[in-house]
């Protein structure tokens, strides 16, 4: 069983930047944990990764949710305040039957991860560029 711990995730910048997501919440009743990263220390600008898992009807269902807010400073009557202007969500739900072998699970995760490689234009250009599939 993994312990709740910090998680280092790397972005896709021209010079990739590793961001450390530190634990901020654990709900022992629901099994939901959250780790977060803020470039400037602001709670409003926190990037959050939430992970939950549960067992149901002979299957293990795991959900991973990444939320990335974009914060800008808004000035009204000379008072500057940060404000979330938009937020990106990436939500993945993985369901493995209890009878799946470790190799089957590894292979499925590897294929899913591989689909996000920038060279896979079907997925990359559809998601990142909003292009329509023809």
What pLDDT digit, counting tens, does each position of 14-42 carry?
999 999 999 999 988 888 999 999 888 88
Largest interatomic CA distance in the chain? 62
Give tens-digit pLDDT for 106-130: 999 999 999 999 999 999 999 999 9
Q: Is 23 exposed, middle or buried (0-12, 13-18, 19+ CB in 10 A)?
A: middle
Q: How far apart are CA 3 and CA 92, in angstroms?
A: 21
Give domain limits for the chain. 7-99, 101-134
Q: In what order do the strands lie in the sheet with 79-97?
A: 7-10, 18-27, 32-37, 47-56, 59-76, 79-97
Q: What is the CATH number of domain 7-99?
A: 3.30.380.10
CB 19 within 8 A of CB 37: yes
Q: What angle do CA 65, 6, 4 make, to 5 degrees?
A: 75
Give yes or no for residue 134 having a pLDDT over 90. no
38: its two tokens: 């803020």
CB 25 within 8 A of CB 49: no
Query: pTM to 2 decimals?
Result: 0.86
């Amino acid at each position: 069983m993994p312990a709740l711990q910090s998680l280092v995730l790397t972005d896709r910048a021209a010079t990739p930047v590793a961001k450390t997501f530190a634990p901020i919440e654990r709900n022992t009743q629901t099994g939901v944990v959250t780790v977060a990263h803020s470039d400037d220390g602001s709670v409003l600008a926190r990037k959050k990764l939430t992970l939950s898992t549960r067992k149901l009807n002979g299957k293990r269902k795991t959900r991973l949710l990444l939320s990335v807010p974009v914060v800008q400073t808004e000035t009204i009557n000379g008072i500057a305040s940060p404000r979330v202007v938009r937020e990106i969500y990436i939500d993945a739900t993985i369901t493995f039957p209890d009878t799946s072998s470790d190799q089957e699970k590894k292979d499925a995760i590897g294929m899913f991860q591989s689909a996000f490689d920038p060279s896979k234009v079907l997925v990359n250009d559809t998601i990142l560029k909003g292009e329509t599939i023809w």
